[in-house]
Structure 1
């Protein structure tokens, strides 16, 4: 029987099998940031353990850093403490660090791919659930807890049970105005926020193959939002073209040899998955969420369900009460005061281009605060070089400095209590963007149109 893509990469990294179905899995690259690494470094010190392979690690601050005046000292005491600890630990253990002001600094899941740290066939971990982003390259990438961060620091390995495999195939051609974010929100709405629990997912089919690398990252990024351990897409010419020439990718003959291996990283024709789902791209429309988990999504011109089969009615109504919505209600015409474009889901140069292309020559609605936060210094630099910053400024958008920003309420960029925010981030939990904030997840295009119109609309009516 043939192997799945996941099986090929996983099996190549098993150092040892232990009784009880546990594998010792070798980790190729370990990404760290300021929130989950201090405790792990402390554990090394407490147990007097050395850092095993520092050259396999890259660090950057991203979660709770300010996105304005990054050249100034951080004002928030906790944020400053965590960033200072990251700097101290990286200096002490000689770990590669891209701190504030460094040309490579940014959200950890943005800088990995753009620097060529993320490559097909690798195993990658980070103390952050959205590490699944890197699976877009045909890597096995997943988030780990703080104790596991210490485990990788000390051994470059993890004790892991092998997950089950799922394949989600999307065939056909995507409709006008439908982006990768709509694709993944549609899948999660269909399968629920727990539909992938216990699985590693491979995305396949013509619609997936048609996506750019940045769009593929968006899909894999939100695999975790349906409970999956991670998501993967088989590498192809789109992948190789994206990787070639980046800072840390192989060069010359070494690159050609790597590509020859990467071309073997696909599921065999006779590979068997534990679960399979098929979707038609023609059924996917621009999406938006209405509740407090990413599975509570609808077509933007649809209606909130009268009930949610996968949820108890108590939790369903609790979610709607928090959001201020009613069962069966349409969101059309709902006034929006905040728009956030950013996060490890949608903060790459392609996302900024989509927004700038739509808002060029337009103005945001006067009552909307529209904030756009690039995912890295490289994205910021490229946006300025292309003149996107001027287009966004003219349209009334505020372009900030790189960071996780309003994706989560750990920094200064919070949404006020009770306010609605159309956000390109990945989670819409209660208080995720600030205490009492109400988050509606959507694509960069939906966010851009919403900012200009000042309310939720059927975006297909506003596209040329």
Structure 2
């Protein structure tokens, strides 16, 4: 019998038709939409006189450019207001479930999907957003698509897709104190570069991965895209089932037992082959931080910015351009650099475990006077739990302020922008030039490292502070 990877099993089960020497016609189980990439797709459907084939398979929420203050008021920005209103109109017209601003389950699309139990093992999931790979943490094939493909899925519930190559990344061993899943993924990307996964779909494996919570696994899969991969996934296990049990859209009763029996089969067969493999020891991973303008430019917080020795031509030129933008020099220590802003949030680290970890580490302390601290929950559910668990009180006493749910300063499509020239240590996923606002300088790190920076006012190893 053919030995199959987890990815093969899910992919092959969803191929409707194979085009000779071309892509597969690929069935999509769940489609998430938001206010930015859906309006043009719906407009094109109307122009063609086509309806939504399976509205029950699509779920919507506004998240990318919604305000995180005074959400109950009319959105001031005209474009943002128009996009959100268009999402409401389209969802009503086509009978699509919408978790609107102010509703109990509003939030970032990649946070509410798992919270509601919409995301399940064995599924194929798409969204007009690159970080759809987050849902792969449940043992699903999940990836981002463009606006024309959003239209295609709405109209046909299928997409034309060529099957990617397969890459397995194994991390074995135990993580050290103060080292998180964000450090794992930043470490991996620093090792293989921001393009090292191009053309591949990644399976993460190994004892260090299996030991992670579901929220930590989501952080890993979320940033698969930051090494150029199509997506990433982790085989479901007891941790997955425990997380999903009792969720709003999770199977119930006999259906639950049947689902788990199927989910148990979703693992890579012994001896199945990958196109490429990497192995890492968890003991080698320390708290990480980026210093440049792509997520592959990462080092240990206690490390030094790499020298240019061995670099040639355009590589050296682009490297020095990146450092010039950041205001750093080759060979410098990153630790001790003064910081202006910290941001805790995004579909990478805006979940309740992330806010819990920050609150735990700043309890009884005060943020440094030079730090402006933004904490943005990934959903209304996260916001609610933060209040119920007393985390908001701890954070406010430390000088932090909890905002309302949304993508916020991750991509600065609303008013949450880091000013030009200022430094922000962020739990988000991208540190491109101007990503958090024109001229802003972003350093990516874990929530624990962000907490350490907030308290000290400079780049600090969290193990030394806490």
* Structure 2 counterpart of 1:443, from 443, 446, 455: 446
- Report whether the alignment pairs 1:289 with 2:290: yes
> Counterparts of 1:160 and 1:331 in 2: how far apart (Å)?
42
TM-score normalised by the chain length of structure 2: 0.98
SS in 2 for 1:118: coil
* Structure 2 counterpart of 1:386, from 372, 386, 389: 389
- Report whether the alignment pairs 1:56 with 2:57: yes
Look up the match of 1:426: 429
> Counterparts of 2:311 and 2:244 in 1: how far apart (Å)?
42
> Counterparts of 1:309 and 1:157 in 2: how far apart (Å)?
45
> Counterparts of 1:459 and 1:306 in 2: how far apart (Å)?
25
- Report whether the alignment pairs 1:22 with 2:10: no
1:7 CA drift (Å): 0.1
Deviates more, 1:27-36 or 1:14-23: 14-23
1:21 CA drift (Å): 3.6
The ranges of structure 1 where at least 4 consecutive aligned residues each deviate by more than 2 angstroms after the TM superposition are 307-311
> Counterparts of 1:207 and 1:190 in 2: how far apart (Å)?
17
Look up the match of 2:139: 138
Contact 2:17 2:25 in 1 (8 A): yes
Look up the match of 1:354: 357
> Counterparts of 2:163 and 2:59 in 1: how far apart (Å)?
26
Contact 2:111 2:378 in 1 (8 A): yes
1:349 CA drift (Å): 0.4
Look up the match of 1:412: 415
> Counterparts of 1:75 and 1:165 in 2: how far apart (Å)?
45
SS in 2 for 1:295: coil
1:462 CA drift (Å): 1.6
Look up the match of 1:247: 248
> Counterparts of 1:128 and 1:102 in 2: how far apart (Å)?
22
TM-score normalised by the chain length of structure 1: 0.99
The 5 Å alignment of 1:155-304 reads: 155-304=156-305
1:376 CA drift (Å): 0.2
- Report whether the alignment pairs 1:337 with 2:357: no
> Counterparts of 1:416 and 1:130 in 2: how far apart (Å)?
25
> Counterparts of 1:348 and 1:458 in 2: how far apart (Å)?
22
> Counterparts of 1:70 and 1:98 in 2: how far apart (Å)?
14
Deviates more, 1:327-336 or 1:115-124: 327-336
1:309 CA drift (Å): 5.4
Gaps of 5+ in 1: none
> Counterparts of 1:207 and 1:220 in 2: how far apart (Å)?
14
1:458 CA drift (Å): 2.1
> Counterparts of 2:412 and 2:376 in 1: how far apart (Å)?
15
> Counterparts of 1:30 and 1:334 in 2: how far apart (Å)?
42
Look up the match of 1:320: 323
Contact 2:452 2:461 in 1 (8 A): no
1:154-196, CA deviations, whole angstroms, 9 ceiling, x for partnerless residues? 0000011000000000001001100000000000000000000
1:103 CA drift (Å): 0.4
> Counterparts of 1:338 and 1:262 in 2: how far apart (Å)?
42
1:321 CA drift (Å): 0.5
> Counterparts of 1:359 and 1:275 in 2: how far apart (Å)?
41
> Counterparts of 1:281 and 1:333 in 2: how far apart (Å)?
26
Deviates more, 1:212-221 or 1:304-313: 304-313
Gaps of 5+ in 2: none
1:457 CA drift (Å): 1.5
Look up the match of 2:464: 461
> Counterparts of 1:458 and 1:140 in 2: how far apart (Å)?
35
May I ask how many residue pairs the two structures share in their alignment?
A: 463
SS in 2 for 1:84: helix
Look up the match of 2:71: 70
> Counterparts of 2:130 and 2:41 in 1: how far apart (Å)?
16
1:253 CA drift (Å): 1.2
